[in-house]
A = this chain, B = another copy of it.
């Protein structure tokens, strides 16, 4: 079944989602998110605006080389040609053409006043810009979608012109025209009316792009689909400017699980919770616990009152089986790790736990206890694997025995606020029977600890010279209680061939970092010693 031909699930996390206040994605972040989106099975991943800034240009260069997309096509976003220039001569269009993306999504003005005020050109020239750009890119072999910016406001202001923009794009060869509620003020009934009218009047294939300013982005998207739209745009976790874009997971879950429209490859929605959380780790925005379908609280019940009835028939108390989106029903407080997901995760790491109920119970309980202290194993596979190995083999893998450590950070030249600071760490440990006391320096405390630790165990294990700390993330909990906050650190370590993520938790950020560092070294050593 050619799902993507009949219905488009189009993700714009990397472009419109990245407009969210405080969200700042590196090229590596964008590549990591794209892999997750492909795992979810979306049809299109809008990667950014090549040519508009060096980061997006670099993303497309690397995406084309490095991403081995199984489900999604890569889409490049950009605007129509500038006024008074041939499309073929416009360097902005060249950047889209040469991006390596098979799809180009062109944003065009469809609101007459925006043409005047923002583009500063005539309504006729704007139509020509749409026509020429679509025609040119089609001739160059790319699939073209049109994002009709401010469409709903434009439709109210000048319906005839707004429709003319759509017709022009469609006649020139655009496959879809997406109606954008750019300012986000629409309600479902209005969206439905406009989509109906557009389809009836123009016959174009309609897509929908909603923002959540009225709290109705998801419902507006569904209303458009009900009225005939066959292309939905949104972002993972609803990231986006202002109140965000339509949360693509909720839109898809509603379509598949409530409205019986299969829009992703079968079965992939069952990974939605894991993927939504993995993306949240990359963005470094804490996942919203109340998020529909994938939030950690989404299927949580205060079981007290109805526990027995829940046991008899859980479906009396939940609107769907959470397995459908990879989430879990939770009773009482505690975490999201149920036995089933522990088993699943074990299998993923190469451990078959299905035969040992006690073991699964032990691991589940320990994960729950640790997650309640602030650990997360969702993103820290390596720390989870160490925990699993410890429970399976009865002893935690250890290649060295730490006695103590200390870090000093101070200003370099005593010039005060603008001065650079340096760190010095001393680590005392035993490795392979020998005691080492090593001092390392670094431009940060974690870096200094990493240097000292690496040098201290390097005598016994020369392979650690290849290990490199390649990513470091910090999250603080219990904000509002600054001094008692819990800190979680995620560290990614690479050996040049692959990388692994470990987690550390503590009241002290350095203590949390140390835990993650030690796990990172231990995991790497174990892998090399068992290879």
Contact = CB atoms under 8 A, between A and B. Distances in A.
Interface of A: 19-22, 24, 26, 28, 111, 113-114, 117-118, 150, 153, 183-185, 187-189, 212-216, 218-220, 222-223, 226, 238, 240-244, 247, 250, 253-254, 258-259, 284, 286, 288-293, 295, 297-302, 306, 308-309, 312-313, 316-320, 332-333, 376, 378-379, 401-411, 414-417, 419-423, 428-429, 442-447, 450, 468-480, 482-485, 487, 492, 506-511, 514-515, 518
Contacts of A253: 214
A113 B316 contact: yes
A21 B219 contact: no
A327 to B, nearest CB: 11
B474 A474 contact: yes
B445 A445 contact: yes
A94 to B, nearest CB: 20
A475 B421 contact: no
B188 A223 contact: yes
A411 B404 contact: yes
A413 to B, nearest CB: 8
A405 B401 contact: no
Given A188-B223, A403-B414, A483 B421 contact: no
A448 to B, nearest CB: 9
Protomer copies: 2
A162 to B, nearest CB: 14
Contacts of A492: 479
A409 B508 contact: yes
Contacts of A212: 290, 292
Nearest to A449: B409
A531 to B, nearest CB: 23
A244 B68 CA distance: 38
A293 to B, nearest CB: 8
B414 A483 contact: no
B21 A378 contact: yes
Given A21-B332, A300-B241, A416-B402, A292 B376 contact: no
A21 B215 contact: no
A300 B21 contact: yes
A63 to B, nearest CB: 16
A184 B319 contact: yes
Contact of A479 (B316, B408, B470): B470
Contacts of A484: 443
A480 B290 contact: no
Contact of A410 (B216, B405, B482): B405
A309 B118 contact: yes
Contact of A301 (B241, B298, B316, B475): B241
A401 B418 CA distance: 11
B185 A258 contact: yes
Given A21-B300, A447-B483, A471-B476, 10 more contacts: A24-B376, A183-B319, A215-B218, A215-B293, A284-B475, A286-B479, A417-B514, A444-B510, A450-B482, A471-B479
23 contacts: A22-B378, A185-B319, A185-B320, A187-B258, A213-B292, A215-B293, A216-B219, A216-B222, A238-B290, A286-B479, A404-B414, A408-B409, A420-B511, A421-B514, A422-B508, A444-B485, A445-B508, A446-B509, A447-B482, A450-B482, A470-B482, A471-B482, A472-B479
B414 A243 contact: no
Nearest to A185: B319
Nearest to A216: B219
Contacts of A299: 242
Given A313-B117, A379-B22, A509-B446, A409 B407 contact: yes
Nearest to A484: B443
Nearest to A472: B476
Nearest to A296: B21
A510 B409 contact: yes
A22 B316 CA distance: 24
Contacts of A243: 290-292, 295, 297-298
Contacts of A111: 316
Counting chain B CB atoms within 10 Å of each CB, the highest count among A250, A300, A302, A482 belongs to: A482
Contacts of A509: 444-446, 474, 509
Shortest Cβ-Cβ A-B pairs, 4 listed: A185-B319, A219-B219, A402-B416, A406-B410
